[in-house]
Amino acid sequence: MKFNTKVIHGGQEHDKAYGAVMPPIYQTTTYAQTTPGRHKGYEYSRTHNPTRNALENAFASIENGKFGLAFGSGLAAIDAVIKLLKPGDEVVSTNDLYGGSFRLFTKIYQDFGIKFHFIGMQNASNIEAYVNKNTKLIWVETPTNPMMNIIDIKAVSSIAKNNNILLAVDNTFATPYLQQPLNLGADIVMHSATKYLGGHSDVVMGALTVNDKDLADKLYFIQNASGAICGPQDSFLVLRGIKTLHVRMQRHCENGTAVAEFLANHPKIENVYWPGFKSHPNHEIAKSQMSDFGGMISFTTKGNNYEDAIKIVEKLNVFTLAESLGGVESLAGHPASMTHGSIPKEEREKTGVVDSLIRLSVGIEDIDDLIADLEQALN
């Protein structure tokens, strides 16, 4: 089954009760049993719910995985992965990553005795210097948030496998439409399903997909024992969103290309960060592991002035100044004060997240309106 068919039919079956084409919203906490322990496959909705299971099957299908798990948020999904570790274990993470991930790693799990190394991974060989007998996990974002760096998943996978280390890839920016990390050697794929998978800025959710059954069983246990699950209504919304992922991503990519090229040719723009440019340091790797380059773009204006950046995002009309990304509507953000505000200034500026940086999530509106909006804000 090809991807455009998988997003609609993958892992799904018609409702057995009445033949409903869409999985019903099973808004229930518990299920009747004929005798203690004998039921129809469901006993309590923290553990299993038919609507959530349908969504988890869809997650697995679109990532070419065997097991999918849905969580109450992207951070809850990441939290479950880190709970695979124990005090004394070490994690090698990309240094350019979502601020919430950095906060979870440094403000919570570091206090529990897990050591994190944040490094540039644009050259995968940089990882090897940080690998030792305590290294249990490599955490990768590609493209990274917000600098749009590209990391070679196959190369990192080779290092991970040679050292018996788990490799987890945050695939939120690319989506499985553009990139499938399990096929490239990853052990775990994570999504903030709040973003492109849901696609309509109306639900918060996280996803994990894996192929290994033992690993899946450990994560299912954590999911149930910790309880950070999503409800059936949210599951229904994301399942509905997935069914249009392919057509939305086509427009996100088309519009993203046009916006990136407009910014690159604008006299007031200093730098544009987008992996579709041939000048991007890892453009060839992006071409090899992605089918297109997505709708996420970051840029700075000439002079790298904080006040200019704030004025621009305040003047936008079609682009909405807001947290998040991946919805049908275009969003603009100021990472230093919004999504990455939890990262100390000195640390974030090492990766390029300066006070003048603006991040765009290019939506699916008419491209002429988006360009005109950027033009008036810049001028």
To the query of whether residue 195 is one of the catalytic residues in this protein, the response is: yes
Tell me how far CA of residue 247 lies from CA of 157, 251, 296, in angstroms.
30, 7, 17
Q: What is the pLDDT of residue 341?
A: 81
Q: What is the pLDDT of residue 95?
A: 95
CA distance 357 to 350: 13
> Which one is catalytic: 31, 42, 46, 83?
46
- Classified by CATH at the fold level, domain 245-378 comes out as Aspartate Aminotransferase, domain 1 (3.90.1150)
Phi then psi for 287, rounded to 5 degrees? -60, -35
To the query of whether residue 96 is one of the catalytic residues in this protein, the response is: no
Whether 3-242 and 245-378 share one fold: the answer is no
Segments making up each domain of the chain, as ranges:
3-242, 245-378
pLDDT digits (tens, 9 = 90+) for 131-171: 999 999 999 999 999 999 999 999 999 999 999 999 999 99
Q: What is the pLDDT of residue 177?
A: 98
To the query of whether residue 111 is one of the catalytic residues in this protein, the response is: no
Residues of the chain falling short of pLDDT 50: none
Pairing of strands 206-210, 188-192: antiparallel
pLDDT digits (tens, 9 = 90+) for 164-197: 999 999 999 999 999 999 999 999 999 999 999 9
Amino acid in position 63: E
Q: What is the pLDDT of residue 69?
A: 98
To the query of whether residue 234 is one of the catalytic residues in this protein, the response is: no
> Which one is catalytic: 98, 109, 196, 273?
98
DSSP characters for 256-282?
HHHHHHHHHT-TTEEEEE-TTSTTSTT
> Which one is catalytic: 6, 52, 136, 195?
195
What is the pTM (predicted TM-score) of this model?
0.96
Distance from chain centroid for Cα 377: 29
> Which one is catalytic: 170, 187, 234, 373?
170
CATH number of 3-242: 3.40.640.10
